[in-house]
Structure 1
Amino acid sequence: MIKSSLPPILTSQIGPDSIELRLLVAADLEYFNGHFPEQAVLPGVTQLDWAVRLGCEHFGYSAAVANLEVLKFQQLILPGQEVTLVISHNATKEKLTFAYSDGDHRYASGRISFASKQDDGAAQ
C-alpha cells in the first residue's frame, strides 16, 4: 500500500474563494510504480486525492466526501511534468471545483461535494 503524500508545491496564489497551485509531478513518486509498465501515468485516484486534501486543508473541510460530480480525465499526466491545480470553493453548496492544466492542456477536472456539517454526527 502506498502512503498518500502530496506533491511539491512550486508556487501558490491564494484568493478568498480559490487557490492556484503549481505542482511538480516528480518522476520518482511511488504512484508511478506499476501504473503502467509501458508508460508511467499518474493515477486518476491520486489526482483526486490531491485535490481533496489540498482543498480541505485550505477551505477547512473534513475529508468527508459525499459525492463526485462531472469527473473527467482528459489527458495523461506523466512523470516529471509540472501542472497547475486550481481549486475553487462554493461555500453555499459545500462544493469544491478543481482542474489540472498546463497552458492550453487540460488534464483533469471535477466537482467535489462534501457531507453537510449538519450530517457530521450521523451514524456511519
Structure 2
Amino acid sequence: MIKSQLPHIVSHEGDNNLYHWRLFISADLASFTGHFPQQAVLPGVTQLDWAVKLGCEAFGYSTAVATLEVLKFQQLILPDTYVDLVIEHQAHKSKLIFSYRDGDKRFASGRIALKAAPVPSESHS
C-alpha cells in the first residue's frame, strides 16, 4: 500500500457488518501536493488506500488485498471537504464494499477482496 496520511476523522461508528466514518479532507494533506496545479484533487489511489486501511482495521483483516472490483470514481473530492466513508463487510466472501459520499452526492465506490479471513481479536496479544 502507499504511505498516505489519513484524514481527520470527525466521528465513527460501526458493528460487525457496517462501519461509517465522517472525514474532513483538509487542504494541507500531502496527497493534494501536485495533484493538480490548477485545482487540487484527492487522488483515487489515496481514497482506496484509506478504505483499505480503515476497513481492514475495523473488521480485523491484514491489509493484504487480493483484487479490486468495480471501482468507480464519480465526483472529485476537493480540499476542505467533509465526506462519509461507509464500508460494508461481507465476511463470507472476505470482501469490503466501500463508498465515499456526502448525502446524495457519491464520490467513489468499489469492492476490496482480501487475501485472508479476519483475524480473531483474541489473537492480538
Counterpart mapping for 1:88-99 below 5 A: 88-99=88-99
SS of structure 1 residue aligned to 2:52: helix
Task: Name the % identity.
Answer: 63
Mapped to 2, the partners of 1:54 and 1:37 lie a distance apart of 29
Deviation at 1:84, TM superposition (A): 0.2
Q: Deviations over 1:72-101 (max 9, x none)?
A: 000000000000000110000000000000
TM-score by length of 2: 0.89
Query: What is the alpha-carbon distance in structure 2 between the residues aligned to residue 112 and residue 97 of structure 1?
Result: 6
Do the aligned partners of 2:61 and 2:116 also contact (CA within 8 Å) in 1?
no
Q: What is the letter of the counterpart of residue 43 of structure 1?
A: P
Unpaired stretches in structure 2, ≥5 consecutive residues? 118-125
Question: What residue is the counterpart of 1:81 in the other structure?
Answer: 81
Partner residue in 2 for 1:41: 41
Give the partner amino acid of 2:79.
P
Q: Is the 8 A contact 2:27 2:80 kept in 1?
A: yes
How far apart are the structure 2 equivalents of 1:110 and 1:34? Answer: 25
Spell out, residue by residue over 1:43-77, the C-alpha distance to the aligned partner (whole angstroms, 9 max, x if none). 00000000000001011111110000000000000
Deviating beyond 2 angstroms after TM superposition, the runs of 4 or more aligned structure 1 residues are: none
